[in-house]
């Protein structure tokens, strides 16, 4: 391992000294999912929110409301979507007993565990108007609940 | 899956154009835990910090110091608390050998792994003075260490 | 569990009322990794970026481009580095079939799953010019890909 200290072509090397245009802007995205591990690519609507408000650089925090869905990034292709479902089925199987289900009879104890493990929030920098994602790196919502649901994502942008 | 582009009642649709009141405010929360997977709901003290400083919208980053505790959101009810402990016992069992324990004899190798997997940081948007959490979505600290501990949370608010 | 509401020595208790020096600054760090679960401590270069730009408090978001690497914090010592590799080998084994590999023949399906589970982003508060990390809590990049790679980290600082 080497840390390359003075990488000549340091992309995004930007810094502001004037605060003329700093803003906090809140938007939301509403999606409909199939539940049961449905994986929804929201890269484009998030990027569109940044473009619409005209911010050039800062951070965007995407947050999913509810405790049975979560966010991460992945190369969005059908093979990995299937593999992700297999991963979570191994980590938190849907067919073992959960205390949550014994108390509430929702049948979605595994959904809660998967969502809590992955987390409800993702913060991504943007520069020159675009998120600094890799080419094969998409923002996805995983809906682990055991039924189709509407989901609301908060898209909070801070920058200038 | 559908992305509903122009959802009419877009909550939190807010944007500022003036920066008169933008602030960075740092607070902390100190908690005492029982260790061994103790799950502490800190939603209320985090929300109180936002209220005390009078910020209306922005993001709050909650960060736990130390490498054997972590943060996420969960529906805070006793069944799921028990299920979460079961999840982490399956993922990183406490009764298998770890190199960390052979070197340092702390007996908390599993605690470190669980904390690193879940992560020390959570960023949550707030709007109209309140975090955009779901009704059954609480912010929790999981203390995986193998003994009771004091924990310090940094609560960093940025907004206006 | 107790939440200690009025902890007398509340460190980092700071708040600004003037926005004279608020800035968004983007930097990057480029590293070379060995792949295969290589764990790189980037705490020092991240802290150096904060020092170089002269920000005193705010948040830094570290983001890794690409979908086979991820970020977290850990006590950086050889035992835990080895234990982390063991953890991910148990969670997403490298020797089971993945749909991704059957479609793309990259042989790195497990790398993608591990990276998506851990996440590409980490947001850390800083106060008085330093990140609020614990003493034995380092920022690490885990490169799960199945070959050595160059990795670019975006370091987005917001504060004053």
ipTM of the complex: 0.91
The pLDDT, as a whole number, for residue C141 is 98
Give exposure, C112-124, as e/b (b: 16+ Cβ within 10 Å).
bbbbbbbbbbbbb
**Distance from C148 to chain B by nearest Cα, in Å?**
23
Question: Within a domain: residue A8?
Answer: no
The pLDDT, as a whole number, for residue B37 is 95
Question: Within a domain: residue A17?
Answer: no
Question: Within a domain: residue B18?
Answer: no
Average pLDDT over residues A139-155: 97
CA count, 13 A, side-chain hemisphere, B137? 21
Question: Within a domain: residue C120?
Answer: yes
| Domain of B83, in residue numbers | 23-159
Q: Do A113 and B87 touch (CB under 8 A)?
A: yes
Residue B54's CATH number: 2.60.120.460
pLDDT tens per residue, range A89-138: 999 999 999 999 999 998 999 999 999 999 999 999 999 999 999 999 99
Question: Within a domain: residue B5?
Answer: no
Q: Do A53 and B15 touch (CB under 8 A)?
A: yes
Average pLDDT of the residues of chain B = 91
The pLDDT, as a whole number, for residue A22 is 85
- The domain tally of chain B equals 1
**Distance from C120 to chain B by nearest Cα, in Å?**
11
Question: Within a domain: residue A5?
Answer: no
Chain A residues in contact with C25 by the CB 8 A cut-off are: 14-16
Question: Within a domain: residue A19?
Answer: no
Q: State how far the Cα of B136 lies from the Cα of B133, in Å rounded to an integer.
A: 8
| Residues 6 or more apart whose Cβ sits within 8 Å of residue A126 | A50, A55, A56, A57, A58, A59, A60, A132, A159
Question: Within a domain: residue C56?
Answer: yes
pLDDT band of residue A47 (cuts 50, 70, 90) is very high
pLDDT band of residue C20 (cuts 50, 70, 90) is low
Which regions of chain B are under pLDDT 70? 1-20
Is residue A110 exposed (0-12), middle (13-18) or buried (19+ Cβ within 10 Å)?
A: buried
The pLDDT, as a whole number, for residue B109 is 98
Q: Do C137 and B30 touch (CB under 8 A)?
A: no
């Amino acid at each position: 391992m080497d840390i390359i200290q003075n990488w000549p072509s340091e992309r995004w090397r930007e810094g502001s000294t004037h605060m003329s245009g700093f803003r906090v802007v809140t938007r939301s995205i509403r999606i409909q999912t199939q539940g049961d591990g449905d994986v929804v690519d929201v890269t484009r609507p998030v990027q569109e929110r940044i473009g619409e408000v005209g911010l050039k650089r800062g951070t965007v925090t995407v947050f999913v409301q509810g405790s049975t869905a979560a966010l991460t990034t992945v190369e969005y292709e059908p093979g990995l979507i299937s593999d992700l479902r297999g991963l979570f089925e191994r980590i938190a199987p849907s067919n073992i007993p959960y205390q949550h289900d014994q108390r509430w009879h929702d049948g979605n104890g595994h959904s809660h565990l998967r969502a809590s493990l992955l987390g409800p929030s993702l913060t991504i920098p943007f520069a020159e108007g675009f998120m600094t994602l890799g080419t094969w790196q998409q923002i996805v919502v995983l809906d682990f609940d055991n039924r189709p649901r509407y989901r609301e994502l908060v898209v909070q942008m801070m920058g200038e």
